Structures are given as structure tokens and as C-alpha cells.
Amino acid sequence: MDAVSFREMALEDLLDAVASTDPVPGGGSAAALAGAVGTSLLLMVAGIPKTKTGASEETADLAEAASRLHPLRGQLLDLVDRDSDAYQQVMDAFRLPKNSDAEKAARKQAIDTATRLATETPLDTMRACQQALRGAVIVASNGNRRTTSDVGVGVELLLAALRGARMNVDINLSTLEDAAYIARATEEADELVSDGERDAERARRALTG
């Protein structure tokens, strides 16, 4: 049976899948989806010909921001499926046999490998959201004044996605034993949240300035 692609589902079908009691798609996929929607709002505003003051520099800055935001939206859409796939691998690893010492060792290694992947995937979501929030500052500073709420909603969705993905990073790190890896991942996650929150605030100030 072919794997289900959540990103290709009709919207209502995707929402039904999230609402179901199936383990996937879960919070990690939902975070990536929220990030993709938030980025789409920024792209909409960046593409509007009328800018904040009509200056050519604003048009150029918005075009550059859009060129960076487009691939980030693609990454976040991919992460809707990737996060579910990663969690499925964790569940598959836990189902491996453990009747002998060799099987137990193989199962433990499989769980560790899958859990690392399930940690890196929401970290990728965080990375994409943080970069999109950086772009939000440019869009907020140069976009049409009538799109304030659109940019604002995009910023809030990206910030929620960033923080939601962080929850998935933390829950997976809590099951690992590699102290060095846990420290590196935690430090990066802390920095991504800090940077994202700072850029979100900068974007909010630009919208009211």
C-alpha cells in the first residue's frame, strides 16, 4: 500500500486525519502546516504591487523576501509528511522483537536511530519557521499598510509553529541518552526560539510604526 501524503490531501480530509485517533498526523505535522500557512500569508503580502510608500526599494526588498520565503514554504509542506513518517519509524522500532539479547540490542539501536530522526525533523521545522520570521520583518516593514492583519496572522502562526515544533524536539530528547547530542540540540532549539521571538517582535513593531 502506498504511503499517505498528507500535504496532497484536500483540506477537510487533512483536518479529519488530524482529528482522528490515529497517531499520525500529530502535533509535529500540525506545526509544520501552521508554518506553511503563515509563510503563505507573508508571500501574499510580498506579492502585492502596492507597497507601504510606493518606493522602488520596498518593491525590491519584498521581491527578495519572497524569493527566500517560497522555498521555506516548500520545506514546511514537506515537513508535514516528514514528521509523520519520522514518528511512524519510531513506532515501528518499538514493535521490533525483543526475545533475545541480539534482538534487544538491535531494537534499542533502531529506537535510538528513529528517535534522533524524530528530533531532527521538528528541528528542521523550527529552522524554517525562524528563517520565515526573519523574512516577516522585511514584509512587515515594506508591505501595503492595508495588509497589517495578514502579516500579523502570518507572524503569529509562524511563532506558534516554532514553539510547537520545540515541544516535539523536547519530548524526543527526553528519551535519548546521548548527553552531547541532547546538549547540542537543546542549545540550537533555544537559539531558534530566541531568534524567532525577537524577529516576531520586530515585525510587530514594524506593523505599528
Report pLDDT for 206: 97
Domain 23-208 in CATH 1.20.120.680? The answer is yes
| Rounded Cα distance, 22 and 10, in Å | 18
What pLDDT sits at residue 1?
36
For the chain, list residues with pLDDT below 50: 1
Q: What is the pLDDT of residue 151?
A: 98
Give the angle subtended at the CA of 113 by the CAs of 108 and 115, to the nearest 5°.
95
- Residues 69-124: tens digit of each pLDDT: 999 999 999 999 999 999 999 999 999 999 999 999 999 999 999 999 999 999 99
Task: Write down the pLDDT at residue 188.
Answer: 98
- Residue 72: name the closest of 137, 122, 135 by CA: 135
User: Can you tell me the distance from the alpha carbon of 203 to that of 138, in angstroms, rounded to the nearest whole number?
Assistant: 8
- Structural domain spans, the chain: 23-208
Q: How far apart are CA 42 and CA 190, in angstroms?
A: 24
- Directed axis angle between helix 27-46 and helix 101-142, to 10°? 20
Please name the amino acid found at residue 209: G
